[in-house]
Structure 1
Amino acid sequence: MQKLYIWDFPTRLFHWLLVIAVSSQYVTAEILDDAMQWHFYGGYFILGLLIFRILWGFWGSYYAKFSQFVVSPQRAWLYSTTFTKSNYKPSLGHNPLGAYSIIFILTVLLTQAISGLFITDDIFHSGPYYNAVAEDTQNVMNWLHHQGFNAIWFFLALHIGAMLVYKFAKKQNLVVSMMTGYKQHKSQISAPVAQNHWLKFAFFASLSAIIVYLIVVTFAPEIIDEFYY
């Protein structure tokens, strides 16, 4: 049994910040009163996180790259058929089924963040592009934004279920691994370890913040207040 550094710090930071941010989005939208402005801020923050994860998925650490864990549907199906058999082989990084769950949640959250730019709470707060589109588009974005949270609940249930299965059936504590970055692996073969790539991390984090600022502030159409006397 060897202990390998799999999840680099930027990947782990993204993961836990996303958990906190999505949780706060539920609180500001469903529990707190008069917190909608914070809900919009949280949406912009999540958009920045997602942009960072996409960049990191192409140019980040080894196990965080999409090219390392996104496989064909055939390979994902084959993995699922061996899960309960003796020839099951644990993955060092994301397993094939986990890869598709990541693509799913990134797509859902990106849809949530983008659609939030085009909606309003019908009282005081509106997304920066709400007045830039026709009413039909506003309605579509509003529907996508509200239905998307149902998909997030569905993913959350699957995610927690999967973590429990891996912990008790496969003796793999995925939560601890995502906190420490290390995974225990039975194979003694040499395997690449993750690198934190601090300079790239700082660059992509800054670039993500700049992109969000450009989207939300610089490129957003000016809101013209109309007064009638």
Structure 2
Amino acid sequence: MQQLYIWDFPTRLFHWLLVIAISSQYITAELLDDAIQWHFYGGYFILGLLIFRVLWGFWGAYYAKFSHFIVSPQSAWRYSRTFTSPDYKPSVGHNPLGAYSIIFILTVLLTQSISGLFISDDIFHNGPYYNAVGEETQNVMNWIHHQGFNAVWLFLGLHIGAMLVYKFAKKQNLVISMITGYKQHKNALSTTPTKNHWIKFVIFSCLSALVVYLVVVTFAPAVADDFYY
């Protein structure tokens, strides 16, 4: 077994910033009093992270690209059937089942971020597009936003369970790999290590921040309620 650099720095940074951001969203919404405005800020930050990850998924590092790890449902099913067999072969990057979990959580979080733009705490704080839609749309977005976090909890439970299975059943420490970027692989010499692509990282980070600013500030309708601030 040899160490192979798989997870580039931007991918790892995205992962851990997302963990921190989701945790802070729960704290600001459920545990702290009068922290909803910070909850909105956290939502904008997560939206920026998601935009970056989509860009990185198309034009970023090799193992982070969607084209590298997204496979057909048939391939994912075949992978799951070999998981407990002697013929099991660990994936260099994301495995087929992990690929679908990534698509799931990105979709859920993107839905959460977008729906959060249209909701209100019914007191002082409104999303930037709350007053741009009718009451029926506000109610739908509010329902989606609050129910969507149940899907986030489901994913987190499955994600932690999967990490424990891989650690104890397959002897693969996914947490350490996502911290260091390195994974153990039998054929490391025949596998191309990833690259960090620093210029793309800076460009995509700035572009993501710009898109969030345009969505939240520039294109948002004027707020009539003085209490919004």
* TM-score for both structures, normalised by structure 2: 0.97
Match for residue 74 of structure 2?
Answer: 74
> Could you give the per-residue CA deviations for residues 151-207 of structure 1, whole angstroms, max 9, x where no partner exists?
000000000000000000000000000000000012355111110000000000000
- Helix, strand or coil at the partner of 1:58: helix
> Could you give the per-residue CA deviations for residues 204-226 of structure 1, whole angstroms, max 9, x where no partner exists?
00000000000000000011249
1:120 aligned partner, one-letter code:
S
> In 1, are the aligned partners of 2:4 and 2:188 still within 8 Å (CA)?
no
* Cα distance in structure 1, aligned partners of 2:142 and 2:106: 19
Match for residue 163 of structure 1?
Answer: 163
Alignment of 1:1-229 (within 5 A): 1-187=1-187, 190-225=190-225
- Helix, strand or coil at the partner of 2:190: coil
* Cα distance in structure 2, aligned partners of 1:92 and 1:200: 23
* Cα distance in structure 2, aligned partners of 1:223 and 1:43: 19
Structure 1: where are the runs of 5+ without partners?
none
Question: How far apart are residue 2 of structure 1 and its match?
Answer: 1.4
Cα 1:61–1:224 change in 2 (3 A) is: same
Question: How far apart are residue 6 of structure 1 and its match?
Answer: 0.2
* Cα distance in structure 1, aligned partners of 2:5 and 2:188: 14
* Cα distance in structure 1, aligned partners of 2:3 and 2:64: 18
* Cα distance in structure 2, aligned partners of 1:189 and 1:7: 17
* Cα distance in structure 2, aligned partners of 1:198 and 1:217: 28
2:158 aligned partner, one-letter code:
L
Q: Percent identity?
A: 79
> Could you give the per-residue CA deviations for residues 113-171 of structure 1, whole angstroms, max 9, x where no partner exists?
00000000000000000000111111110000000100000000000000000000000
* Cα distance in structure 2, aligned partners of 1:145 and 1:179: 30
* TM-score for both structures, normalised by structure 1: 0.97
> In 1, are the aligned partners of 2:3 and 2:188 still within 8 Å (CA)?
no
Task: Give the length in aligned residue pairs.
Answer: 226
Runs of 4 or more above 6 Å deviation: none
With 189-198 and 204-213 compared, the bigger mean Cα shift is at: 189-198
Structure 2: where are the runs of 5+ without partners?
none
CA RMSD of aligned residues (A): 0.9
2:190 aligned partner, one-letter code:
S
Cα 1:153–1:225 change in 2 (3 A) is: closer
